[in-house]
Amino acid sequence: MTDSGYPILAREGWWHTVSAVAVAALVHFFAGYAWAIPFWIFAAFIIQFFRDPPRQIPDLPGGVICPADGTIIAQGEVDDPYLKRRAKRLSVFMNVFDVHSNRIPVTGKVQECWYNKGKFINASLDKASSDNERNAMWIKTDQGQDVVVVQVAGLIARRILCYVQSGERVTLGERYGFIRFGSRVDVYLPLNAQFRVSLGDKVKGAADVIAQLT
């Protein structure tokens, strides 16, 4: 299915976009085209950063969809620090040119959310999962599987936005948050999950299946 009802530009970027375009237009009007070029380039960067295009959400039983655009930088078996279990983890790194809208990876009910203050080291480093500022959300699927998705701040990211709370029901592909500017998202899955992507793969949020729950 295709999600709809959302503007091409994420609501988190409306104020930034209007401000950047207004400044560029004022400089262009009062100082001329040449002086305005850097400001128009900056405005174009802001628009592309906050873009939030609709996606074709795959309808695959047991499928876990990607929660963010980016590159797979880690996958394997680890200790889940939130549910205190062994789990399989996938990590998606978002650079400043990726779409930063975050999506729900599975349909189910939010059991609990955890917010941890932390550092702002490079999100591509593995220790960012434990050291950086982050917001974790535990979802229990309709089939009773436990999935934890974690928004992790990056080197220049200074704002994690999450719009769901404990007790809410969430739907596959639903927009639930945003991270500014450059970051990662970790997904902790049951050990019986089968990866559908490999290290280095480029993935799209809400469009690509990253794992299969059995």
The tally of domains found in the chain comes to 2
Q: What is the CATH number of the domain that holds 132?
A: 2.70.70.10
Per-residue pLDDT of the chain (214 residues; tens, 9 = 90+): 556 555 677 777 788 889 999 999 999 999 888 999 999 999 998 888 788 888 889 988 899 999 999 999 999 999 999 999 999 999 999 888 888 889 999 999 999 999 888 665 555 556 656 667 889 999 999 999 999 999 988 665 557 889 999 999 999 999 998 887 668 899 999 999 999 999 999 999 989 999 999 8
The reply to whether 183 belongs to the active site is yes
My answer on whether 74 and 45 are in the same domain is: no
User: Same domain, yes or no, for 19 and 78?
Assistant: no
pTM (2 decimals)? 0.85
> Which residues, at least 6 apart from 31, have a Cβ–Cβ distance to it below 8 Å?
none
106 plus 128 within the same structural domain: yes
Q: In what order do the strands lie in the sheet with 169-170?
A: 169-170, 108-116, 134-141, 146-153, 183-189, 85-94, 70-80, 202-203
Catalytic residue among 101, 124, 129, 183: 183
172, part of any domain: yes
Residue 44 CA: distances (Å) to CA of 95, 159, 205, 212: 16, 21, 22, 37
Note whether 154 and 91 are same-domain residues.
yes
User: Is 179 within the bounds of a domain?
Assistant: yes
Same domain? For 45 and 121 the reply is no
Cβ-based neighbour number of residue 39 at 10 Å: 19
Residue 32 lies in a domain: yes
Please tell me whether residues 100 and 183 are part of one structural domain: yes
Which residue segment(s) compose the domain that 26 sits in?
11-49
- The Cα-based distances of 169 to 62, 130, 163 in angstroms read 17, 27, 12
Evaluate whether 28 touches 41 at the Cβ level (below 8 Å). Answer: no
Q: Does 31 fall in a domain? A: yes
